[in-house]
């Protein structure tokens, strides 16, 4: 039987099933993102030279790969840049951003005139000094930001070996987020908008059909609509929030815990970051990166954090549910998801009806 997450090759581009069906034919595919126009942007590793290259799948299913480090919307990205910085091109989302990890710094490249949005000084002041290390800003231009390269490996990569980093997070996070001054507001309604945009783009790319084949016709969409309504129905007290906090944004070197990628920081309910962390811990368990005991310990540590912040079990449950659903929409575009997506959809569609805890069940 065909794996429902391995789409068949359509007989003609006119089938109308969307560009998602072209992704399995792209050699070296690493990540992909649905675009507002119904196309899919992607990055792939070229087998001939090991270099990261960006591309785009059109709505017809045709796809093209751009030359290495070439992007007319990102003139600051050049083929020679990685060599100049003594590193490698690590991220290239075409038309949006690129990241070069050098020997001593990380350069983020965006469209000209947009670099001021990246890690503004007030954001660093909020998060540093409470036991978290935040990368220092080395330089800034109209289209790029240079950041200190901080030591450590991500909690995502460390898995069970990262429990000490999770313990450090639990100790310092309540104090790190108490000062929410001068940050933009991100409410539950805003988060509902993010989730709904993912739904719209996933549908346009044909990927909702892939998820329906796993979870049942219409169940994902109905669950997302319920999650959006729940996010929007009330507003709790606000704290400082990373707004994209997950185990890949936390680096642990055995001594210091570093928080990276502060570009989306805002004031938001404490449940936003905690729910996202809980959902990513669940994902780490489903994919095998966290063992059962470590997963339970991480959730217990997040319980401890929640007890020291102004939130409720209901809001934590709401944000965790929404994050699980969003992760299904994100990962359906990524290779390797077929190995675990059925289990993940089952978890995302399941709603716990018992309390007291807010932990996933």
Beta bridge partners of 65: 55
As given in the structure block, the two tokens for residue 82 are: 């990685």
pLDDT of residue 131: 84
Is the pLDDT assigned to residue 9 strictly greater than 80? no
**Lowest-confidence range among 77-81, 313-317, 345-349, 354-358?**
354-358
Q: How many CA atoms lie within 13 A of 330 on its CB side?
A: 12
Is the pLDDT assigned to residue 4 strictly greater than 80? no
pLDDT tens digits for range 89-118 = 999 999 999 999 999 999 999 999 999 989
pLDDT of residue 179: 78
pLDDT tens digits for range 125-165 = 888 878 899 999 999 999 999 999 999 999 999 999 999 99
| Exposure string over 27-51, b if 16+ CB within 10 A, otherwise e | ebbbbbbbbeebbbbbbbeeeeeeb
Q: pLDDT: is 273 or 338 the higher one?
A: 273
Averaged over 16-44, what is the pLDDT? Answer: 92
pLDDT of residue 121: 82
pLDDT tens digits for range 33-77 = 999 999 999 999 999 999 999 999 999 999 999 999 999 999 999
pLDDT of residue 231: 97
pLDDT tens digits for range 224-235 = 999 999 999 888
The domain 69-149 is placed in CATH, from the list 3.40.50, 3.30.200, 3.30.70, 2.60.40, at 3.30.200
Q: Which residues contact 1 (CB under 8 A, 6 or more apart)?
A: none
Angle of helix 313-331 versus helix 341-349 axis, rounded to 10: 150
Distance in angstroms (rounded) separating the CA atoms of residues 246 and 347: 18
For strands 257-259 and 250-252, give the pairing. Answer: antiparallel
pLDDT of residue 359: 54
Task: Look at residues 23, 117, 52, 14 and name the one whose alpha carbon lies nearest to residue 338.
Answer: 23
DSSP codes of every residue in 287-335: TTSS-HHHHHHHHHHHHHHHHTSS--HHHHHHHHHHHHHHHHHHHTTST
Q: How far is residue 186 from each of residues 79, 174, 194, 232, measured CA to CA in Å? A: 37, 18, 11, 11
Averaged over 253-269, what is the pLDDT? Answer: 96
pLDDT of residue 83: 95
Given a contact cutoff of 8 angstroms between Cβ atoms, the answer to whether 196 and 224 are in contact is yes
pTM above 0.75, yes or no: yes
């Amino acid at each position: 039987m065909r794996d429902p997450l391995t789409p068949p090759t359509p007989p003609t581009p006119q089938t109308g099933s969307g560009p998602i069906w072209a992704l399995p034919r792209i050699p070296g595919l690493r990540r992909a993102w649905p675009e507002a126009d119904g196309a899919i942007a992607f990055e792939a590793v070229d087998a001939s030279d090991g270099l990261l290259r960006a591309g785009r799948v059109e709505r017809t299913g045709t796809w093209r790969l751009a030359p290495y480090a070439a992007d007319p919307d990102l003139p600051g990205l050049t083929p020679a840049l990685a060599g100049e910085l003594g590193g490698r091109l690590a991220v290239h989302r075409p038309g949006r951003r690129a990241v070069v990890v050098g020997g001593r710094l990380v350069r983020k490249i965006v469209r000209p005139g947009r670099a001021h949005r990246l890690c503004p000084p007030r954001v660093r002041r909020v998060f540093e000094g409470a036991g978290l290390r935040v990368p220092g800003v080395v330089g800034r231009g109209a289209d790029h930001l240079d950041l200190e390269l901080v030591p450590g490996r991500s909690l995502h990569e460390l898995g069970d070996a990262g429990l000490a980093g999770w313990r450090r997070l639990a100790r310092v996070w309540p104090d790190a987020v108490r000062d929410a001054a001068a940050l933009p507001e991100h409410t539950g309604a805003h988060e509902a908008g993010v989730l709904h945009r993912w739904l719209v783009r996933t549908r346009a790319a044909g990927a909702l059909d892939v998820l329906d084949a796993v979870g049942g016709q219409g169940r994902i969409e109905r669950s997302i609509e319920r999650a959006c309504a729940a996010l929007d129905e009330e507003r709790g007290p606000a704290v400082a929030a990373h707004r994209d906090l997950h185990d890949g944004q936390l680096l642990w070197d055995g001594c210091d815990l570093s928080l990276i990628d502060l570009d989306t920081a805002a004031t938001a309910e404490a449940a936003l970051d905690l729910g996202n962390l809980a959902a990513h811990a669940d994902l780490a368990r489903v994919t095998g990166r966290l063992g059962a005991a470590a997963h339970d310990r991480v959730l217990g540590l997040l319980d401890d954090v929640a007890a020291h912040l102004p939130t409720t079990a209901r809001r934590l449950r709401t944000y965790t549910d929404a994050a699980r659903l969003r992760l299904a929409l994100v990962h359906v575009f990524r290779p390797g998801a077929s190995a675990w997506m059925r289990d993940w959809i089952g978890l995302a569609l399941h709603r716990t009806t018992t309390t007291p805890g807010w932990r996933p069940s």
